[in-house]
Structure 1
């Protein structure tokens, strides 16, 4: 049984570019802007831009134009030094290797980003980061209890005890030392986990 294709797996949308620089989306039968093409790219929608007159594939030129427009809007992602090095590679004997290197580097970056996001989702569901978040909340509640729940402008925090029932200074100090050493151990475990992911 054939698997039905999702929008991201379907055939690329054909965008025709006319001499007047207008872009025509053959899927929606409507004219579109570079901003819409940029949005389609971010959504992972595949498209091919062809010259309406010659049928030549000009996707590369249009994508480069989108990057130029994004950079001109002040969303500078490409450092000047990187641009200088890239320009210097044109005509170099290593020029043919640069596209594959950049593509592999970007793929690795995206995979690491995705793994990190998944690790963060998992960490807040349980594990070291969830424990750290819990302890931070406990520390906040302890600090709030030192001021009492009646401080103007400070909402009553559920589970916070009044200042009268706060632990003695010696017990509080010992408790804080234990919490700090626990947090250090958990942070070390988290760093080890992140190192494994990257």
Structure 2
């Protein structure tokens, strides 16, 4: 039998050394051509398949088909390498990787595995709690929470109008579908004052018509929020 062939059912298992992992773990064999063979399903698998098994909570042990060496750590590291190279949602920050490398050969190296395992273990235990908190915050009551926040922000905005004049230039639109309430007050505000008298005039704030326009737009925004709550 060549190395790239699947093992037969009668093949002795003496080549599989004992592992610290569960005895019920699925056995994966890696051949010289880098193909991975799942002995439980009698199919070839990929690193992506193994990553899926990890996420599903399926334990597996990877053996080198020729030497019988347990290479689970190497294969798991390859999975992490592949995931990190996707470049979308990296789990390992650059600084973390640098710090991790510094521990190799350091007197503290022996403590790092236990520390990382302990920390991740606690995180796993808190997983369900964190998910529940996120659902509570962003789940069924999310819209209500966002609406209440919007109303508070609206009140703060209205209060700030009474305190600061003239209004700042370049403010973005507040909410989709609404005109910028600062637009009327900021027309021409990008032109610097030519003299002390013009600066004094600008400090007088917007005209009565501008203020009325702002009030009308704020009222429209408030009405829109009330409609969303119905």
| TM-score computed with the length of structure 2 as normaliser | 0.50
Q: Does 1:19 align with 2:43?
A: no
Question: What is the distance in 2 between the residues matched to 1:72 and 1:134?
Answer: 39
Q: Which of 95, 98, 102 is the equivalent residue of 1:81? A: 95
**Deviation readout 1:153-196 (Å, 9 max, x if unpaired):** x9xxxxxxxxxxxxxxxxxxxxx9xxxxxxxxxxxxxxxxxxxx
- Cα offset for 1:107? 1.4
Question: What is the distance in 1 between the residues matched to 2:47 and 2:75?
Answer: 8
Alignment map for 1:1-198 (pairs within 5 Å): 11-75=24-88, 76-121=90-135, 132=145
Question: What is the distance in 2 between the residues matched to 1:125 and 1:23?
Answer: 44
- Cα offset for 1:134? 8.9
- Cα offset for 1:135? 6.1
| TM-score computed with the length of structure 1 as normaliser | 0.57
Q: SS of the counterpart of 2:32?
A: coil
Q: SS of the counterpart of 1:44?
A: coil
- Cα offset for 1:17? 0.4
Which is greater in Rg? 2
- Cα offset for 1:118? 2.8
- Cα offset for 1:55? 1.1
**Deviation readout 1:61-108 (Å, 9 max, x if unpaired):** 000011111111214221111111000000011101101101111112
> Counting helix residues as a fraction of each chain, which structure ranks higher?
1
**Coordinate RMSD, CA, aligned:** 3.1
Question: What is the distance in 2 between the residues matched to 1:10 and 1:98?
Answer: 26
**Deviation readout 1:98-157 (Å, 9 max, x if unpaired):** 01101111112222232121345567679xx79747968x99xxxxxxxxxxxxxx9xxx
Question: What is the distance in 1 between the residues matched to 2:46 and 2:31?
Answer: 12
